[in-house]
Copies of this chain bind each other. A is one copy, B any other.
């Protein structure tokens, strides 16, 4: 472990909850994760988070507050920032849930900072991953939702309400796309988020008898050569390629780093994505963008949540 105190990092997404103890090297030294419980109320979900925190702190042999530099948490958006009052689109149990206050009450005496989970991934990738040393980076999480974060001209972009980075709600197919959870037709997320992909594939005849088949199953089948599953991955890649093209023209990005479960599928996602990006971003400056899987893999979000604390001078502009 690093000599300086580590941070407790919390990552709350629509698919999984993860908690880790992260040192200054940017590696989680102790961590745990559980599936995000469904059909629970706000307090039941909070108790699941609390239990995971307790378990990880216990396994790490850490007592609070003395041994921690602070607590950084990423949570699905949108949220009131920096108050950390969260209403994650794909976690209906939490609407205006005071996550930051709850974490403070539970872990008193150390700084507690909450930001969008995809902004945390972006920070992680900028701090210790694929965006290291670059000034203009977008991070994307492709999972239950499609989230994002922006670092432009070397600084984290917060926007008017701390919600900058919502790449999943860039419109890519306004005429024929499915309607998004947010109510808009043709958002990138409405096409490319895992459950939407699985639903589309089922509509095409994939695993018709398994209503619970997931995007992970879809990716597995695509890897095995299943035609509909491959078409679904292609569809996701095309939608993400258009959204990334638009974001690259708008923000003059250098690196786009993609994390989340679906980012682990390699060429199945990235080949159609790159093809679509090339077709939709042709201005010379926009052609230079590099789109890569998150170098920190599935821990990018946790590492970035820790960066809110361990590199707070660079990455935290809230109170």
Residues of A that sit less than 8 Å from B by CB: 78, 87, 135-136, 148, 150, 152-153, 155, 157-167, 169-176, 182-184, 242, 245-247, 249-254, 279-286, 288, 317
The answer for the CA separation of A80 and B136 in the assembled complex, in Å, is 16
A286 to B284, CA, bound (A): 30
Measured in the bound complex, the distance between the Cα atoms of B245 and A281 in whole Å is: 19
Minimum C-beta distance from A247 to chain B (A): 6
Q: Are B167 and A250 in contact (CB under 8 A)?
A: yes
Cα distance A166–B283 when bound, in Å?
Answer: 10
- Cα A172 to Cα B173 with chains together (Å): 7
Q: Which listed residue, B87, B159, B246, touches A252 by the CB 8 Å rule?
A: B159
Contact of A171 among B148, B166, B184, B245 (CB under 8 A): B245
A95 to chain B, nearest CB (A): 11
Give how many copies assemble into the complex: 2
* 30 pairs, A vs B, C-beta closer than 8 Å: A78-B283, A136-B159, A150-B251, A152-B159, A152-B164, A153-B317, A157-B251, A159-B252, A160-B288, A161-B288, A162-B252, A163-B252, A163-B286, A164-B251, A165-B250, A166-B250, A166-B252, A169-B281, A171-B172, A171-B246, A171-B280, A173-B174, A174-B242, A174-B280, A175-B175, A182-B282, A182-B283, A183-B282, A184-B281, A246-B246
Chain A contact surface mostly = loop
Distance in Å: Cβ of A255 to nearest Cβ of chain B: 9
Q: Is the CB of B150 within 8 A of A184?
A: no
A152 to chain B, nearest CB (A): 5
* 9 nearest CB pairs, A to B: A159-B252, A169-B249, A164-B252, A183-B282, A170-B246, A166-B249, A160-B254, A163-B285, A163-B252
Q: Contacts A152-B164, A285-B78 given: A159-B251 contact, CB under 8 Å?
A: yes
A160 touches B174 (CB 8 A): no
Q: How far is the CA of A172 from the CA of B155 in the complex (A)?
A: 28
Complex Cα spacing A244 to B152, Å: 19
| A279 CA / B11 CA spacing, docked (Å) | 31
Check A160/B252 contact, CB under 8 A, given A169-B286, A183-B282, A281-B184: yes
Partner of A169, one of B78, B163, B283: B283
Q: Which residue of B lies closest to A153 (CB)?
A: B158
Query: How long is the Cα–Cα vector from A190 to B87 in the complex, in angstroms?
Result: 37
A279 / chain B contacts, CB cutoff of 8 Å: 184
Q: A163-B285, A169-B283 are in contact. Are A153 and B150 (CB under 8 A)?
A: no
